[in-house]
Amino acid sequence: MTNNGIRTIANVTRIALIGATAAMVLAGCMRTPEEKAAIAARRAAPTPVVMNATKGEAPTESGLSHSRDGYPNFGAPLTAANVQMSDEEAGNLQQKLTALGAQRKAGSITEAEYQRRVAEYRKLAEQHGADTLSKIAN
């Protein structure tokens, strides 16, 4: 036998061993239908819990839609989680704060009175979140 014949046999043997090894590795990756079902169950999205509103009107529709594969679709506009401040309420609050600032500039209100009102508004802001959460929880 010549060197070329020995090399050819060695190459064929090497390729056969690589193919057999690849087949065994890929065969080890195969899963039974039960294993596939268990994996799919672990990967499935959790079941959403829909809670009814305790006060006020029930929401008409969810602001979050889901695509066919179960993942959330953020393409749709989201709705507010709570009742938002109306334009009228925002305007009234802005007028109060503007008037308070104007009174301070004009000197018609003392610095102590101004600081008292600022502290009152800050206290309202701190308590508003906790009060709202307690109303939502009940």
* Residue pair 76/65 in contact by the 8 Å Cβ criterion: yes
* pLDDT at 17 (0 to 100): 93
Tens place of pLDDT per residue across the chain (138 aa): 577 888 899 999 999 999 988 887 777 667 788 888 888 888 887 777 666 655 655 444 455 666 777 777 777 665 666 666 778 888 888 888 888 888 888 888 888 888 888 888 888 777 777 777 777 776
pTM comes to 0.32
What pLDDT does residue 15 have?
A: 94
> How far is it, in rounded angstroms, from Cα 23 to Cα 29?
10
The residue behind tokens 């014949």 is: 5
Q: Which residues, 6 or more positions from 94, have their beta carbon under 8 angstroms from its beta carbon?
A: none
